[in-house]
Amino acid sequence: MANLKEIRGRITSISSTMQITSAMKMVSAAKLKKAQDAIVMLRPYSEKLQEIIQNVSASSDSDNVSAFAQKREVKKVLYIAITSNRGLAGAFNSSIIKELNHRISNSAVEVEVLTIGKKVFDAVKKNRTVYDNQSAIFDHVSFEKVSKVTSAVMKDFSQGKFDEVHLIYNKFLNAANQEVKTEQLLPISMPETDGNANSDYIFEPNRNEILDSLIPKSIKTQVYKAVLDSIASEHGARMTAMHKATDNAQALKNDLVIFYNKARQAAITNEILEIVSGAEALKNS
């Protein structure tokens, strides 16, 4: 049986761990509200932007295809994988890394990875070709930073360095649930024109110029939305993980307290028996 001092030390250690996990849970809960508001406000804008592009492109000149919509034989693919810079978030990071490795393993073409987040960078840097690492984006997240990275990817795609670009990230559903999503970023999907498109619009300057302006903005918004989704998902996953860790630590602490009390009671009983036995021995002598 472990001595009482050792058990007290374990109880103290678990209590300290509980304080840390509980504090991390509260911090993540506070950050989650801000991150959730950001992604909830951006989603309608992103969806409306996609809808406008669909409507405009449906009635545009089919011969004038955007450089970002051109499909060609796939020889090289770029994956943009988004994780976090920190751990202690359950399966948040590992699920992205697992999905990325699965996609690369089943790919028959050359693959490079753009990592956003230290966790995915550390996981792939040794055995994958890293196109770029942009983990610093999370230091001060802004549309300008994400736009700069996306512009570089769009430029390389238009120059033929990549034939497809895919996003892998955690989509925020709620505080307890995230969904691993893989979306094709480039080439973008344009609707098929059937000649029956609604023409009750007046375009200024013209359809094609509007598309040339909206499509790059839509691509950048899609990546920015994925980053915000990932941030909200990270805080939700960490809050849930720390909540479970705190509950598990509390349960372990309760078991140790019971075990400590039993051990202490047994030790006191043994001491009493020794004292009584010694007293009896002295009396008989």
- Whose tokens are 């109880």? That residue is 11
Q: What is the DSSP string of 105-150?
A: HT--SEEEEEEESHHHHHHHTTTS-EEEE-GGGGTS--HHHHHHHH
List CB contacts of 60: < 8 A, sequence separation 6 or more: 193, 207, 208, 211
- Report pLDDT digits (tens) over 135-152: 999 989 999 999 999 999
Please report which confidence band the pLDDT of residue 5 belongs to, taking 50, 70 and 90 as the band edges: confident
Torsion angle (degrees, nearest 10) of CA 217, 221, 224, 230: -160
Q: What is the DSSP string of 197-216?
A: -------SS-HHHHHHHHHH
The DSSP symbol for 170 reads E
Instruction: Determine the CATH number of domain 34-190+200-239.
Output: 3.40.1380.10
- Report pLDDT digits (tens) over 172-196: 998 889 999 999 999 887 665 554 5
Identify the three-state secondary structure at position 23. helix
Strands 177-186 and 164-174 turn out to be: antiparallel
Q: Give the angle subtended at the CA of 4 by the CAs of 2 and 10, to the nearest 5°.
A: 80
- Report pLDDT digits (tens) over 243-274: 999 999 999 999 999 988 988 888 888 888 88
Strands of 177-186's sheet in order across: 130-133, 110-116, 76-82, 164-174, 177-186
